[in-house]
Amino acid sequence: MARCDQCGNNYDKSFQVISAGETYTFDSFECAIQKLAPTCPHCGVRVVGHGVEQDDIIYCCAHCAEQEGATALRDRA
C-alpha cells in the first residue's frame, strides 16, 4: 500500500503520476486533480481539460481570460 500525497490515505489501489520530473502517489483522480491541476485565476475552477493560455497564465476558457484582460484567445467550440 502507498500513502496519497494529497489526502494521506493509505490505499492498496494507489497510482503514481510523474509531472515535471516529480513523482506523486494518489489514491484517486480527485486527489491528483486537487494537487496538480491549475486553477483559473478568474473563476477559481480547476482546469482539468485543455484550457487556454496567454502569457504563461492558464484559464479555463476564453471568456474568463477576456475578463482578466487577455485578448488574443478564442474558444474553439
Condensed to tens digits (0 to 9), the pLDDT of residues 8-59 reads 999 999 999 999 999 999 999 999 999 999 999 999 999 999 899 998 899 9
Would you say 15 and 29 are in contact if contact means Cβ atoms under 8 Å apart?
Answer: no
N-term to C-term CA, the chain: 42
Q: Please, what sign has the CA dihedral across residues 41, 43, 47, 53?
A: negative
Adjacent-strand bridge partners of 16: 25
Would you say 13 and 26 are in contact if contact means Cβ atoms under 8 Å apart?
Answer: no
Give residue limits of the domains in the chain. 1-36, 38-77
Would you say 36 and 17 are in contact if contact means Cβ atoms under 8 Å apart?
Answer: yes
pTM of the entire structure? 0.81
Region 51-72 average pLDDT: 91
At 25 the three-state DSSP class reads strand
